[in-house]
Chain A
Amino acid sequence: MLILKFLHAFGRYLLLMGRTFSRPERMRMFLKQYVKEMAQLGVDSIGIVLLISFFIGAVICIQIKLNIQSPWMPHWVSGYVTREIMLLEFSSSIMCLILSGKVGSNIASELGTMRTTQQIDALEIMGVNPASFLILPKIAGLVTIMPLLVVFSTFSGIIGAYATAYVGHIITPSDLTAGLQHSFVPWFFWMGVVKSLFFAFIISSVSSFYGYTVEGGSIEVGKASTNAVVSCSMLILFSDLFLTQILS
Chain B
Amino acid sequence: MIEIKNLHKSFDGKEVLKGISTRFESGKTNLVIGQSGSGKTVLIKNIVGLFEPTEGDVLYDGRSFMQMSKRERAMLRREMGMIFQNAALFDSMSVLENVMFPLDMFSDDSYKDRVRRARFCLDHVNLSDACDKYPGEISGGMQKRVAIARAIALNPKYLFCDEPNSGLDPKTSLVIDELIHHITQEFNTTTIINTHDMNSVMGIGEHILFIYQGYAEWEGTKDEVMNADNELLNNFIFASDLFRKVKQAAK
Query: A25, A28, A122, A128: which contacts B88 (Cβ < 8 A)?
Result: A122
Determine whether the beta carbon of A26 is less than 8 Å from that of B85.
no
Give residues 80-104 of B contacting A (CB, 8 Å): 80-82, 84-86, 88-91, 101-102, 104
Residue A29 CB within 8 A of the other chain = yes
User: For the complex, what is the distance from the CA of A126 to the CA of B74, rounded to whole Å?
Assistant: 8
A127 touches B75 (CB 8 A): yes
* Among candidates A117, A125, A126, residue contacting B50 with C-beta atoms closer than 8 Å: A125
Tell which of B85, B91, B160 has the most Cβ of chain A within 10 Å.
B91
Q: Which residues of B contact A129 (CB under 8 A)?
A: 74
A21 to chain B, nearest CB (A): 15
Q: Which residues of B contact A215 (CB under 8 A)?
A: none
Contact B80 A125 (CB under 8 A): yes
Whose C-beta in chain A lies nearest to the C-beta of B75? A127
When A125-B80, A125-B82, A127-B74 are in contact, do A26 and B88 touch as well, CB less than 8 Å?
no
Distance between Cα atoms of A199 and B168 in the complex (Å): 46
A/B pair count, beta carbons within 8 Å: 55
A126 touches B90 (CB 8 A): no
Inside 8 A of A122's CB, which chain B residues have their CB? 82, 84, 88, 90
Complex contacts, B90 vs chain A, CB 8 Å: 119, 122
Pick the contact of A125: B48, B86, B105 (CB < 8 A).
Answer: B48
Inside 8 A of A44's CB, which chain B residues have their CB?
none
Known: A125-B77, A127-B75. A118 touches B105 (CB 8 A): no
Most buried by B among A117, A118, A121, A122: A122
CB <8 Å contact, A25 and B105: yes
Task: Say yes or no: B88 contacts A119, CB within 8 Å.
Answer: yes
Known: A25-B105, A29-B105. A126 touches B85 (CB 8 A): no
| C-alpha spacing A119/B86, complex, angstroms | 10
- B89: which A residues are within 8 A, CB to CB? 119
What separation, in Å, do the CA atoms of A119 and B106 have in the docked complex? 18
When C-beta atoms are compared, the residue in chain B nearest to A125 turns out to be B82
Q: Give the number of chain B interface residues (Cβ < 8 Å).
A: 25
Q: A126: which of B73, B78, B91 is its contact (CB, 8 Å)?
A: B78
Say which size band chain A's interface belongs to: 10 to 19
By a CB distance below 8 angstroms, the chain A residues around B77 are 124-127
Known: A122-B82, A124-B50. A29 touches B104 (CB 8 A): yes
> Which residues of chain A are near B160, meaning CB under 8 Å?
125
B173 to chain A, nearest CB (A): 20
CB atoms of A26 and B105 under 8 A apart: yes
Which of B75, B81, B82, B105 has the most A CB atoms < 10 Å from its CB?
B105
User: Could you say which residues of chain B place their CB within 8 Å of the CB of A25?
Assistant: 105-106
Q: Which residues of chain B are near A127, meaning CB under 8 Å?
A: 73-78, 80, 105-106
Task: Report whether A117 and B86 are in contact in the complex, using a CB–CB cutoff of 8 Å.
Answer: yes
- CA–CA, A29 to B105, complex, Å? 7
CA of A143 to CA of B78, assembled, Å? 32
Q: A119-B90, A121-B50 are known contacts. Are A126 and B84 too (CB-CB below 8 A)?
A: no
User: In angstroms, how far is the closest chain B Cβ from the Cβ of A129?
Assistant: 8
| Bound Cα distance from A118 to B166, whole angstroms | 15
Residues of B within 8 A of A29 (CB): 104-105
Chain B, 34-62, CB within 8 A of any chain A CB: 48-50
Looking at the assembled complex, report how far the CB atom of A142 sits from the nearest CB atom of chain B, in whole angstroms. 17
By a CB distance below 8 angstroms, the chain A residues around B84 are 118, 121-122
Question: Which B12-42 residues sit within 8 Å CB-CB of chain A?
Answer: none
Closest A-chain residue to B78, C-beta based?
A127
CA distance A29 to B48 in the complex (A): 24
Taking the closest CB of chain A, its distance from the CB of B17, in whole angstroms, is 18
- Listed A/B pairs (12) with beta-carbon separation below 8 Å: A117-B88, A118-B85, A118-B86, A118-B88, A119-B89, A121-B84, A125-B77, A126-B80, A126-B102, A126-B105, A126-B106, A129-B74
Residues of A within 8 A of B (CB): 25-26, 28-29, 113, 117-119, 121-122, 124-129
- Known pairs A25-B106, A117-B88 / 19 extra A-B pairs, C-beta < 8 Å: A25-B105, A29-B104, A29-B105, A117-B91, A118-B84, A118-B86, A118-B88, A119-B89, A119-B90, A121-B50, A121-B84, A122-B88, A125-B50, A125-B80, A125-B81, A125-B82, A126-B78, A127-B76, A128-B105
